[in-house]
Amino acid sequence: MRTALPANLLICSLLAGCGHVPLTSLPKLSKIDMKTTDLAQLRAGISLPADIRTLPGGVTMTLVALPKDGGRHERKVVLEEVRDPVELAKLPAVASPGRRFTVFRLSSADAARLGAFREEMFAGPQNSGNRGSLALGTDKACRLGELSGKPITMTGYLRTSETQDYVLLMRDFDLKEAVREIDPKVDLATAIPTCDAVPAIKVSGSPAAP
C-alpha cells in the first residue's frame, strides 16, 4: 500500500502494492513530489462494478513521515466525493460498460492539515533525510444486489498538479482476493452489506456507463 523514498513521496496504488502499478504509468508518477504538490488539486478516481458503491467516509488518505532518526508519524484523513457538475463534466472517459467511476478529493480543511504536517516533517535542511509515504485506501462499500462468484475488480487513477491528468495506478485489482488474503474466513456478504441495509447513506458514483 505504501512506498518510502528519500525525495519524492509517491503513491503506489489505492489498495495494492507497487507491483500493481503499470510500467507505463511510472514516468508520470515519478514527477509527483508530495512535499510540494498542490493538495487542493489532488484527485483519486475509482472505477468499480456498477452495483458496488463506496460509502461516506470509506475512502481515506494517509500521509506517513519516517524521520531519519527513527520513529513514525502519520496523518489520516477521509476524502470527500467530488460532486461539482462542472468538474465532473470534464472527466476523461475512463468508465467502461457496467462500471461506475467516482472521483474523490481532500476537503479544504484536510488539505491545510496535511500541508502543515508535511511542512513540519519534510521542509528545511533538518528534515532532508526524512522519508515518507502516501497511501489511499477504501474500506467501506455496499452492494445493490447479491454477490456473485465473479471478481469485484477495482481500477484506480491519480491526478495531481504535476500529472495534470488521471494516471492509471492499477487495473482490475480483485477486491475479493485481497480480502481473503487478509482473512480467508471473512464473510463477504457481511463485509459488503446491501446498500438498503445501511441506514441514512448517500452512496457514491456517477451514472454507470451505457
Could you state, in chain order, the average pLDDT of each consecutive group of 10 residues for the chain (210 residues)? 31 42 81 84 89 85 85 90 89 77 93 92 83 76 84 86 86 78 77 78 48
Residues linked to residue 174 through DSSP beta bridges, in sequence order: 153
| Contact indicator for 25, 169 with CB cutoff of 8 Å | yes
Is 159 strand, coil or helix?
strand
Please state the pTM of the whole predicted model.
0.78
The answer for residues whose C-beta is within 8 angstroms of residue 21's C-beta and 6 or more apart is 12, 13, 29, 169, 170
Helix residue ranges, H only, the chain = 26-29, 85-89, 108-122, 175-182, 188-191
Long-range contacts of 117-120 (CB under 8 A, 24+ apart): 117/63, 117/65, 117/73, 117/75, 118/34, 118/35, 118/63, 118/65
The answer for residues whose C-beta is within 8 angstroms of residue 159's C-beta and 6 or more apart is 41, 42, 43, 45, 165, 166, 167
Task: Look at residue 206 in the predicted model and tell me its pLDDT.
Answer: 43
Cα distances from 82 to residues 12, 38, 111, in angstroms, run 22, 17, 15
